[in-house]
Amino acid sequence: MSVRKLKPITPGQRFRVVNGFDAITTDKPEKSLLAPNKRSGGRNSQGKMTMRYIGGGHKRKYRIIDFKRDKAGIPAEVKSIEYDPNRTAFIALLNYQDGEKRYIIAQNGLQVGQNLVSGKEGIAPEIGNSMPLSEIPLGTIISCLELRPGQGAIMARSAGAFAQLMARDGKFATIKLPSGETRLILVNCMATVGVVSNSDHQLLVSGKAGRTRWLGRRPRTRPVVMNPVDHPMGGGEGKSSGGHPRSRNGIPAKGYRTRSKKNASNKYIVERRKK
């Protein structure tokens, strides 16, 4: 993993830091695993804008990712590590011994030609292998974690993310999540061993506003420069501040807890994330 700082031959490249893409092995995706990716531009079925600051951007095809890793006991060879425009992490193309091909989220250190396997019993806790939390040794760094059995990975999926298996007690495992929250999760939930790839993603600098437009994000208006009719932080003469940071609906943005005290899942949270 590496990043490159470009020579400032144009104003947009003066501060730009790009990914070295050392881990990428091909620029041609597997056609059978591509799907159309329709975009709304932030409009609903009536054509009205319901989400602001969305629109434009480069066309993308969606890569169908296997988040469930449910082909148990069948070894698969890593055919390539690829870039995915729909996510921050890199993806890996697996060729299973029965001929099927699937994309998975790639872990740091995954190599082309490496054999991966998923399932319950007799599987080594090596990078890229997927297994239930009941089979993973305590203290192991994990990612692509299920919250409910069979649901598919929904936690620790972005570039450089990881969780840690802290303890097991009965049917629950204690997991320290990337946010800092410690939470109980059923031991029959699946997780993948290793840290998610492309951990240098946080070091990238786009260099110019146009690159954000290529990602499909339109310019965002700061609440402080709006009128009072548009936002609670708007209004005032000159460069007066907008008061306490809050959302368009008036909900405070810093230090205010929005989680319901009646949530049934509160009992599974051992320790809240840090402020």
> What digits encode the pLDDT tens for the residues 205-235?
999 999 999 999 999 999 999 999 999 999 9
Answer whether 3-201 and 226-270 agree in fold. Answer: no
Would you state the pLDDT for residue 271?
94
* Euclidean distance between CA atoms 121 and 132, whole angstroms: 9
CATH for 3-201? 2.40.50.140
Query: pLDDT band at 240, cuts 50/70/90?
Result: confident
Q: Which amino acid is at 106?
A: A
Please give the share of the chain, as a percent, with pLDDT higher than 90. 93
Q: What is the dihedral of CA 28, 29, 32, 36, to 10 degrees?
A: -120
- The residue among 31 and 240 whose pLDDT is bigger is 31
Q: Given CA atoms 53, 56, 58, 64 in this order, what sign does their dihedral have?
A: positive
Top-tier CATH class for 226-270:
few secondary structures
Q: Is the pLDDT of residue 252 over 80?
A: yes
For residue 73, give the nearest of 92, 104, 96 by alpha carbon.
Answer: 96
- Tell me the per-residue pLDDT of 190-202, one tens digit each, with 9 for 90 and over: 999 999 999 999 9
* Euclidean distance between CA atoms 258 and 270, whole angstroms: 18
How confident is the prediction for the chain on average, in pLDDT?
95
Would you state the pLDDT for residue 1?
64
For residue 188, give the nearest of 149, 214, 140 by alpha carbon.
Answer: 149
Q: Are 39 and 217 in contact (CB under 8 A)?
A: no
Give the residue extent of every domain in the chain: 3-201, 226-270
Tokens of 238: 């000159």
What mean pLDDT do residues 79-105 have? Answer: 96
Please tell me the least confidently modeled range out of 120-124, 213-217, 267-271.
120-124
Would you state the pLDDT for residue 275?
66
* Burial degree of 113 (CB within 10 A; 0-12, 13-18, 19+): exposed
What mean pLDDT do residues 155-163 have? Answer: 96
* Euclidean distance between CA atoms 185 and 194, whole angstroms: 18
What mean pLDDT do residues 143-157 have? Answer: 96
